[in-house]
Every structure is written in structure tokens, then in C-alpha cells.
Structure 1
């Protein structure tokens, strides 16, 4: 039985609505809430780098409370000798130091006191926002591939989130990972930077060769078509 145009129109409308609903659901799944952690920015730097300015990025993950206090604990096993904190409008910072059992020997003398903690208070990070707390390190530690910090984030409702968990090899990321600064080998970093150039050159050569091949094939096709056109030229009349 053939359906009327109106019935077919309604059927198409229903199918379109169903497709739109599925597309909307897919968008919602893709655009779902992403997990935001307290991190160090940039997350990695070459060992011995002269630029030692980093930011502790603190996002607000609560819907109805503001972040009102941020505490970052510095490691003492691979200590950072000193820190210079950039001012953040509305926030007050305080640097705590601790005395080392074994001094750090440098060309400028022994270092006995190192940074143990920085605390920011007085300001607010509202929901769906983040704040960067910038710190300039006096020097990066030696003898390690990473610097692990531990952060405590206090909200206006009294909730405290402890970003102190370490990720274990082969295990999924913990719910509240500690901020980690990776210290990379300068030689490996240089090789990584140089590698894309070689790849780009190879790609360019491949594309050039492909272009030549396409050009030759096009020329051959043109010759063949030209011959075919000449061969059939006498049969173009209409009976």
C-alpha cells in the first residue's frame, strides 16, 4: 500500500528527529566533564634549564564553593634551594623554609635552608575557573628525573582536596594525583626536536615524487585520449 505524501513527510520528520537526538547525545558524551587536577605548567623541562619559572595551576572543581586556600609542599629529598613568588591580585603568599641535614654545596657556598612550603590565602577561585600561581625557582635539583610536589586545596565550605597521590607504573591515574615536574635529558629533548625535521623532509620528497608520477600518468593519458579522438574523427556525423 502506497503511503500518502503527508505520511511520508511525517515519517521523514520522525527519522530526522531521531538522528538529531542521537547526535545530541553523542555531543553530550564527548563534551562531558573532564577531570581537572592541580598541575605544574609547563609539566616538563630539560635538566639544567636556565628558565626556571613555573606555575601551579589550580582549577575549581566544585559547583557551589570557592577555593580560598592553596598549599604546595616542596620535596626535601630533592630540594629546591629558593623560590621567588609572583604576586597574584587578591592573594597573600607565604614561603616556609626548612634546614637540611646535609647542606647543598654550590660555587656560591653551602645552602642549608631550602623551600619546604608555599601557602596562598585571601583570594578566591570561583567555580569553572582556575588560577595560576607563578613561582621562579632558584635552581632545579640534581640526581632525579622528576620533582614531586604535594598540594592541598581548601574550599569555602571547609572541604579540603589533597593532591598527594603518586601514580604507580602500569596503574591508572589516581583520583588526586600530586603535581609532578618532569626533568628530561637535554640530549633526548634535542633529538626529539630534530626528528620532525627529518620526517618533514622525507614527506616533502615523497610528495614531490608522487607529483611527478601523477604528472607523467596524466601526460600519457592525454596522449592516448588524443590518439583515440583522431582515430574516431570520421564517425562523428549523425545519420
Structure 2
């Protein structure tokens, strides 16, 4: 029968708790990963394209209540429509073009400048949730790529601006702008990305924080190493708990030898006495 001393059980429990906490703490940045992104991220010049933005909420205390998607003015789209979202109102703002565009034989003098989604009172995107916003854009411009910056506003006044270009190297900035690649190829590893990759850093009072998200290579390496250490600690804890300390005491030759010795001593006494 195997036994486990209270000290051994306490040690195993401590190691197990440490491992669990390490998994939770080190895994939290990975779970919180969620950049604002667009899907698909490629389009053909001169075509119409339907795209979807996925906007996550990364605040534990506030809701996302406003989402503004900016469209380019230097290389504009001829038109834009949005898919209605329950609990949100939307409007398209336009700007006069310096040079008219031709779309289906029609001269276009105004182009969409932004689409603004606003949550109804008491609504919005809550902690741990995301919302998708779909657009239909007309006449994709002939250019390498277009940035589609998103401004995310929270109910506590926090503003996060997703407006940083991703370099050709693919090294993702802290707050990358959703990008539609037209004649340019997406950076390495970006084309396969979906609308839920990466993670923002939220700042208060209208400014985006400068901290790196989990997409930062150093953060990913450290988190992975920490998770590996936590798993090893958990295995050690289980081994320490399950390993037998030793066999329970039972009949053995040693007590018998002791008894025999005593018996011999006892039987020898009469002989000595008789002598």
C-alpha cells in the first residue's frame, strides 16, 4: 500500500497551484489577443469588394460604443454601403473629389470618406466580445494597397486608433491599420491572417497606449517559454504526488531475528543457572 505524507501532499499542491497560476497569467496575453482586422485582405483593381471588419472589446470596465472606419481620399472608392447591425446605427460621410471618377459610365464627384457605427444607449461591445461590421465598396482603386484605419471609442472615453501601417517585413506595429492589398502582396504571414489575430493595448483619455501587443515576437517567445515552464512544473507536481514514499511496515525477517535473539537469550538463562 502506498502512502503520501501531509508534507508531500502540501508540496505537490503548492507546485500544482504555482503551475496553474503560471498558466493563467502567462496565457492571459494570448487569450486577449485581438487586433481590429479586415477579411478578406486582398482585392482586384476595378472590382467591387465586400469586406468585414472584426472589432474586439479589450476593456474589462467599458464597452465599445463607437467604431469609425476611414476610407482613403487620395485613392478613393466610388461608393460604399454597410450591412445593418442590430443595436447600432450607421452613417456614411462623403467628401468632394478633386478629380471625378467614372463608375459604370457615371461621373462620381463625391466619394465615401468614412462609415461611422454608433451603439444604442446601453449597448455596445462588452468585455470578451467582438462585433463584425460588413461593407460593400465600389470600384477598387488601382494602387498597391489602401489603409482602412479604424477608430474605436469606449464608453469611458478611451479611444484606440488602429492606424499604423504594417511594413513590408511583416513586423506588426502595436496598432496596425486594417489593410486591403490590391496590387501589392501582403507581408509574409499576413495574407493568411483572419479578422481575429493580434491584440491591442488600450489607453485612457483618448490616447492609444504604446505598449506592444502579444503579436510582438519577444512577447510571444516569453509567453511560450513561460507556458512550457508551467507545464513542466505541473508534471513535476503530479509526479511528486503520485510517487510512493515507501511500503508500509509489516512482518519482516528483522523483527523475527530480534525475537529469535530474545528467545535464545531466554533459553540460555536456565542453562547458565543449572551450571
If the length of structure 1 is used for normalisation, what is the TM-score?
0.64
Higher relative contact order (CA 8 A, sep 6+): 2
Q: 1:120-139 residue pairs with structure 2 within 5 A?
A: 120-123=117-120, 124-139=124-139
Q: 2:37 aligns with which of 39, 48, 51?
A: 39
Structure 2 segments unaligned to the other structure (5+ residues): 186-190, 192-275
Distance between the aligned counterparts of 2:77 and 2:98, measured in 1? 14
Count of matched residue positions in the alignment of Structure 1 and Structure 2: 181
Distance between the aligned counterparts of 1:185 and 1:173, measured in 2? 17
Whether 1:80 and 2:102 are equivalent positions in the alignment is no
The 4+ residue runs of structure 1 with deviation greater than 3 A are: 8-19, 48-51, 168-172
Whether 1:92 and 2:81 are equivalent positions in the alignment is no
Shift of 1:171: 7.9
Shift of 1:117: 0.8
Structure 1 or 2: more strand by fraction: 1
If the length of structure 2 is used for normalisation, what is the TM-score?
0.57
Distance between the aligned counterparts of 1:131 and 1:49, measured in 2? 29
1:165 corresponds in structure 2 to 164
For the Cα contact (< 8 Å) 2:143–2:183, is it kept in 1?
no
SS in 2 for 1:125: coil
Structure 1 segments unaligned to the other structure (5+ residues): 187-191, 193-239
Structure 1 or 2: more helix by fraction: 1
Whether 1:152 and 2:148 are equivalent positions in the alignment is no
Whether 1:143 and 2:143 are equivalent positions in the alignment is yes
Shift of 1:148: 0.3
Distance between the aligned counterparts of 2:46 and 2:12, measured in 1? 57
1:175 corresponds in structure 2 to 174
2:49 corresponds in structure 1 to 52
Distance between the aligned counterparts of 2:21 and 2:50, measured in 1? 42
Larger Rg: 2
